[in-house]
Amino acid sequence: MENFYRLNIDTNCFTKQFNLDNFIKKIRTPKFKVPTLHNFPLEKDNGVISNDWLDYMHDIQLPPKNLIMFYRQENYQHFGAHIDLDNTTGKNDRIFALNWTIDPNDQSEMAWYELPYDWEDKVVYTEIGSAYAEWPINNLKETGNRCTIADHPTLVRTDLPHTVFMKNNYRLSLSFRFDLKFDNWNDVVEYFKPYFI
Ligand SMILES: [Fe+2]
């Protein structure tokens, strides 16, 4: 099994009024030398993600709950890899995300690592409602293949430590989270099989 799968999903998700260029200009200030994230709860009329796209996702049984936009500056290399899970149990509730990057030519690579046996000791709860733990990648063992996501909607595993190896362009990625609960990655993969390319 892989830690990622490309999906056949329409990515035309923004509202007409959401000005992506302005958003990028705003977040690409010198203040943000570190990775930043921007959380958007996906109620109707949220102004960022269109009602049409939300309806489409509901119709195909993939109702999104929130969108997290992750920004990283070009050539920035983070020291660690992390897991991000659900806020309620810190265990298996939210073990996947649907990701793609704004730049269709993005060359950065996502990588996964084996989960340390004492991972639960590391978990902290963050303001965006996820259980989060991070380790220096030097202390971890990489597992599976790396994935260049670019603008391909991709199901990614988030219950193994993961990180992104940046190239010399900045990276803005969309990461959709869902109200779907699964016990393990195997069940996620089974559920998403009909959407595989
Ligand atoms: Fe993550």
Residues with beta carbon < 5 A to ion ligand 1? 84
- Averaged pLDDT, 182-191: 92
CATH 3.40.50 fits 4-195, yes or no: no
Q: What distance in angstroms lies between residue 47's CA and the mean position of ligand 1's atoms?
A: 24
Q: Any idea where the domains of the chain sit in the sequence?
A: 4-195
User: Residue 91 pLDDT > 60, yes or no?
Assistant: no
Greatest mean pLDDT range, 49-63, 71-85, 93-107: 49-63
Q: What is the mean pLDDT of residues 74-101?
A: 78
Task: Measure 42 CA to ligand 1 centroid, in angstroms.
Answer: 19
CA of 162 to the centre of ligand 1 (A): 6
Q: How far is CA 22 from CA 18, 28, 111, 183, in A?
A: 9, 10, 30, 39
What pLDDT, on a 0 to 100 scale, did the predictor assign at position 92?
A: 45
Residues 120-145: pLDDT tens digits? 888 887 766 677 889 999 999 999 99
Q: Decide if pLDDT at 52 tops 60.
A: yes
Question: Does residue 32 have a pLDDT over 60?
Answer: no
State the distance between the two ends of the chain, measured CA to CA, in whole angstroms. Answer: 15
C-alpha 164 to ligand 1 mean position (Å): 9
